[in-house]
Amino acid sequence: MNTATKTAKQTKKRIGNDDYSLRRVPQEARYGFGSMLLQWLAQSGSLSQFVLGATLGVGMRFSDAFWAFTLGAVILEAVIFLIGLAGQREGLTMTMLTRFTGFGRNGSALVSLVIAISLVGWFGVQNGIFGKSMHALVGGPPWLWCAVSGVVLTLLVIYGFKYMMWLAKIAVPLFFGLVAWSVISTLSDHSVGALMSAAPTATAITIPAAATIIAGGYMTGAVVAPDMTRFNRKGWHVLLQSSASIVLSEYIVGMTGVLLGHLVGSSDVTHIVLSTSGFVGLIVVVLATAKINDWNLYGSSLGVVNFVRTVFGRPLHRGVVTLVIGFAGTVLSAIGFLQHFTAFLSVLGVAIPPVGGIIVAEYFLVRRLSTPLRETRADGRVPATMPVWVPATLAVWAAAFCVGKFVHWGIPALNSLLTAAILYTVLGLAGLIRPVGSVDLEEVGR
C-alpha cells in the first residue's frame, strides 16, 4: 500500500464518526431510555409545527383541529412504531434494512438514492428558511446566515449521533420552556374558552384535509425512523419515546399554534412568535429547527454511503460524505437554488412512504426475504448474501407511488404506504415475491 493511500484512509478515519452506517449497531453502543427520549422530543419542537398549528387555527375551530391532530397522530405513530421496531431489533439503518426486506441489492441502491436526494434537498430548503428568518430578525444577507447554519450543522453531523444528542439536550429544554412561557404569559390575559370556540377567520379546512397535511407532512420522517431507533436498546422504548414525541408535537406545539393562530388571526409563525416571546423566542425556535434539520443531513449521508457502496463498491466514510453533501446543500441554499425544486422534492417524498409499507409487510407478515436477518441477529453479523433484484417489489413500489401521486382522495402518503403493504403482502403470500440472483455481501461491503 502506497503512502498516498494510507494517508487517504487515515484522513477518512479522522473525519468524524462512521456511526455503523453499513453494520449493525452493537448493544454496547446503544443508548438508554432517557438519552433517546431527548432525541425523540427534539423532533417535536420546530418552526414548521407552529406554522402548521397556526394554519389550522385560522381555518378550523379548536375542537376540529384537535380531532385532525389526533387522526394524524394515530397514523404517524403506527407507521413509526412498526418501522422503527424493525430498525431497533436489527440495529440497521433504513437503507440497509431494505437490502433484506424486499428490495435486494439494486432496489436498495434506488431507495438510497431517492432518500439521499430528498433529505439533502430538504436540508437545503430548511437552511434557506433559516437564512430568511435571521435576515428578517437581525438583518444581514440571508446567504450569510445560510452559510453559518450549514457549516455548523455539517460539523455537528460529521461527528454523528453522539454529538447530535448534545444539541438535543440544549434545544429540547429551551424550546419547551419557551412554549410553556409563551402560553402562560400570552393566554393569561385572554379567555382560553373564547379562543377555543372561535370561528375560523380564513378559508375553512376540513378534518380529513387537515389530517392529510399533518400525517403527510411527516410521513418521510416516520419511514426513516430506523436511522434513529437502531440506537435503542429495547423495542418498548421505541413505542413510548415515539408516542411522547407525537403527543408533544401535535398536542402541545401544534395545538398551541392553533390557539395563537386564533389569537393573532394569522398563520405567519414569525408574527406569532415575535408577538408572544420576542427576540429570544425566535432564536430558540430557530435552534429547535436546526435540531430537526441535522437529521435531514444525517439521513442523507447514510443513504449516500449505502448507494455508493452498493453501486460502485467503494467504501465511503459517513463523516466524509457528510462534509461533501453538507457543503453542497449549504451552497445551494445560500444561492436560493433549491427553492425552485420543492415540487420535485415533494414528488420524491411520495416515493418514500411505499418503501415503509414494503418493509413492514416483509418483516412482519411475509417473512420470505428477511429470515437471514433474524438468523444472524444474535451474533451481530449482517447476512452473508442478499438478492440482486426483486422485480415484484419494484413493481409494487411503482404502483404504490402512482396511487400516492395521482389518487386525490384521503392522505396521499398513507394511500401509497398502505397500497404497497397490501400489494406486497398479497404477492408475497402467493409466492410471487421471487428474488433474481444472489450476491455475496463481500462484493458489496458491509
Give the dihedral of Cα atoms 398, 404, 405, 410; nearest 10 deg: 160
* For the chain, domain boundaries: 40-444
SS3 sequence of the chain? CCHHHHHHHHHHHHCCCCCCCCCCCCHHHCECHHHHHHHHHHCCCCHHHHHHHHHHHHHCCHHHHHHHHHHHHHHHHHHHHHHHHHHHHHCCCHHHHHHHHHHHHHHHHHHHHHHHHHHHHHHHHHHHHHHHHHHHHHCCCHHHHHHHHHHHHHHHHHCCHHHHHHHHHHHHHHHHHHHHHHHHHHHCCCCHHHHHCCCCCCCCCCHHHHHHHHHHHHHHHHHCCHHHHCCECCHHHHHHHHHHHHHHHHHHHHHHHHHHHHHHCCCCHHHHHHHHHHHHHHHHHHHHHHHHHHHHHHHHHHHHHHHHHHHHCCCCCHHHHHHHHHHHHHHHHHCCCHHHHHHHHHHHHHHCHHHHHHHHHHHHHHCCCCHHHHHHCCCCCCCCEEEEECHHHHHHHHHHHHHHHHCCCCCHHHHHHHHHHHHHHHHHHCCCCCCEEEEEHHHHCC
Q: d(Cα 187, Cα 190) in Å, to the nearest integer?
A: 5
Q: Which CATH number among 3.20.20.70, 3.90.1280.10, 1.10.4160.10, 1.10.3470.10 corresponds to the domain 40-444?
A: 1.10.4160.10
- Could you tell me which of 236, 278, 220, 318 has the C-alpha nearest to residue 22? 318
pLDDT at position 202, please? Answer: 79
C-alpha cell at 364: 412482519
Run means of pLDDT, 10 residues per run, the chain, 446 residues: 42 70 93 92 77 85 91 90 96 94 94 91 86 80 92 92 86 79 73 78 83 80 93 96 92 86 73 62 71 89 92 87 94 82 78 93 94 92 91 96 87 89 96 90 58
pLDDT at position 11, please? Answer: 41
pLDDT at position 330, please? Answer: 93
pLDDT at position 5, please? Answer: 43
pTM confidence score: 0.87
Q: d(Cα 207, Cα 67) in Å, to the nearest integer?
A: 7
